[in-house]
Structure 1
Amino acid sequence: MKWNNALKDYKLYLKIERGLSLNSIESYVRDIKKLVLFLEDNSISISPIHIENESIQEFIYHTSKSINARSQSRLISGLRSFFDYLIFEDYRTNNPTDLIESPKTGRKLPDTLAIADIDKLINSIDLSHPHGERNRTIIETLYSCGLRVSELITLQISDLFFEEGFIRVNGKGDKQRFVPINIQTQKYINLYLTNIRNIINVQKGYEDTVFLNRRGKQLTRVMIFTIVKNLAIEAGIEKNISPHTFRHSFATHLLERGADLRAIQQMLGHESITTTEIYMHLDKSHLKNVMEQFHPRK
């Protein structure tokens, strides 16, 4: 089996069996391509079926000189996933990365904003500007629903179920979930749709897309990042924030007020509760409150 054929089959597996997005698939494949390039540069001719631990170790050692521990850990994880796939398809009987230890990185806690900072940022939006109403609605939706950027820019008008109090979100791997949406955010979305979006010349293919640019097309991820960065400067917020900061703040603020961790997991669309548990590290007082409220010996 050649590396190119293995990678082609692996990409199909990640798409069909694992249901990963194109961005996630490219990230996984990029790790393997780095290994292939290393083998070529060092004139090591060996197939993915026969490569052993020593060659992988040599590659990791070579790569570790230019990347940090967290990136190194992610690289090893990507390689491990690829060789697990080859085992799954009966091409191999062992995983050459099994004896390779990932460096200790600790858990990186996500940045969050205080409620006062979020209010300050929203209040700094110039509503007299043509895009002011839209940008306020974008921030409110990111924060009140805990959306990823990709979920926000692909949100459709047909995904809005305001009478039921929910929106339908297309998450990672095209997995759908329903997220509650509060009355205030519904009001902002309706105002934007009525007063701003209705006067835009919508381009073909974007008739159902909620958030549009001035040319009537879907906003890009980069544009959302730019909007958030500029608003942070206007509001005088010195933290290095991104659209994802509002998602982290959404989860953290819910947890601080006693929300159930599994409910937060469902709203965020996390496949594993372990991913959601990182928010437990942000507010240790929550654990104390749970103990005081529920323990029989309180």
Structure 2
Amino acid sequence: MRTRNARLAALRSFLKYAAHYDLTALIVIQQALAIPMKRFDRPVLGFLSREEMQAILDAPDARTWAGERDRTLFSLMYNTGARVSEAIGLRVGEVIVDGAAVAHLHGKGRKDRSVPLWRTTVSLIRNWKRRLAFTSEEDFLFPNRSGGRMARSNVTQRFELAVSAAAERYPQLASRSISPHTIRHTTAMHLLQSGLDISVIALWLGHESSATTHMYLQADLAMKERILNRLQPMTSSQGRYRPPDQLMQFLMSL
């Protein structure tokens, strides 16, 4: 349905343009513009619990070059909520670990944002930079074996290995559809559950509009359940008070 709607949107744009140049086709154009968009069900966003996310971060073997790179990469993605393209495009000089630690990300539509780094992330990046000896600030922070930019498919492959290893502790991971983009959803949900304002999360993730971030409110069933437990329906009766037997015996003895 999404593909159909995308094609229909492109067709509508063209027809609106054509209407200014061919008045004889206005009737046909109006009929085409009257075709409605197809409705479709939006899938529920998948995200990981804190324990599941930590198990995936701990899965790569930090004793190896690739393992330490993967652990640092996934940790930075979880910290910043970065898209895969933003993370693999980072240069060494764009991640500051001295003083106010921050990562300068380049998002969609040439929109840049700076995200603060946690102490654990800073520690991982410092250790990883020591393995990247003799590199300049213009080199990629997370290169492939030849020193070039990692491919998206390479990140997906390495992430699947980490998920498979983490599934030994949490078997439910093996039956779920988990991709590197799930880390971004997980970051948003954990920030939301921590009480961070939705507008701040939108800035953290680099959303152009906070309306995009509202989908995480719809996905957090646990938060909805907690709110529901605090409320009682307006029509519900409080029930008649029934004193315990000991209280009744005391009152009868007076």
Q: TM-score, normalised by structure 2?
A: 0.76
Aligned residues: 218
**Is residue 2:47 matched to residue 1:120?**
no
**Is residue 2:228 matched to residue 1:228?**
no
Within a 5 Å distance, the mapping from 1:124-273 to structure 2 comes to 124-162=59-97, 163-194=99-130, 196-198=131-133, 207-236=138-167, 237-238=173-174, 239-273=176-210
Counterpart of 2:3, as a letter, is S
Q: Structure 1 residues 100 and 117, CA, compared in 2 at 3 Å: closer, same or farther?
A: same
Matched residues in 1 for 2:188 and 2:163: separation? 20
- Give yes or no for contact 1:142–1:247 (8 Å, CA) kept in 2: yes
Local SS of the residue matching 1:198: coil
Local SS of the residue matching 1:118: helix
Local SS of the residue matching 1:169: strand
Deviations 1:50-109, CA, capped at 9 Å, x for gaps: xxxxxxxxxxxxxxxxxxx2322233234344556x37x965798765312111112222
Root mean square deviation of aligned Cα: 2.8
Deviations 1:110-155, CA, capped at 9 Å, x for gaps: 2111111111112222222221111100110111110001100111
Identity, % of aligned positions: 29
Q: Structure 2: which 5+ runs fail to align?
A: 168-172, 231-254
Shift of 1:158: 2.0
Deviations 1:215-259, CA, capped at 9 Å, x for gaps: 111111111111111211122221221110000000011111211
Matched residues in 1 for 2:68 and 2:9: separation? 43
- 2:250 aligned residue: none
- 1:11 aligned residue: none
Shift of 1:288: 7.7
- 1:73 aligned residue: 5
Matched residues in 1 for 2:101 and 2:84: separation? 21
Q: Structure 1 residues 157 and 130, CA, compared in 2 at 3 Å: closer, same or farther?
A: closer
Q: TM-score, normalised by structure 1?
A: 0.65
Q: Structure 1: which 5+ runs fail to align?
A: 1-68, 294-298
Matched residues in 2 for 1:135 and 1:115: separation? 18
Work out which structure has the larger RCO, using CA pairs closer than 8 Å and 6 or more positions apart in sequence: 2
- 1:282 aligned residue: 219
Shift of 1:280: 0.6
Q: Structure 1 residues 90 and 197, CA, compared in 2 at 3 Å: closer, same or farther?
A: farther
Counterpart of 2:64, as a letter, is H
Shift of 1:191: 0.7
Answer with 1 or 2: which has the greater Rg. 2
Q: Structure 1 residues 72 and 141, CA, compared in 2 at 3 Å: closer, same or farther?
A: same
- 2:236 aligned residue: none
Matched residues in 1 for 2:105 and 2:33: separation? 37
Counterpart of 1:191, as a letter, is N
Q: Structure 1 residues 222 and 161, CA, compared in 2 at 3 Å: closer, same or farther?
A: same
Shift of 1:271: 0.9
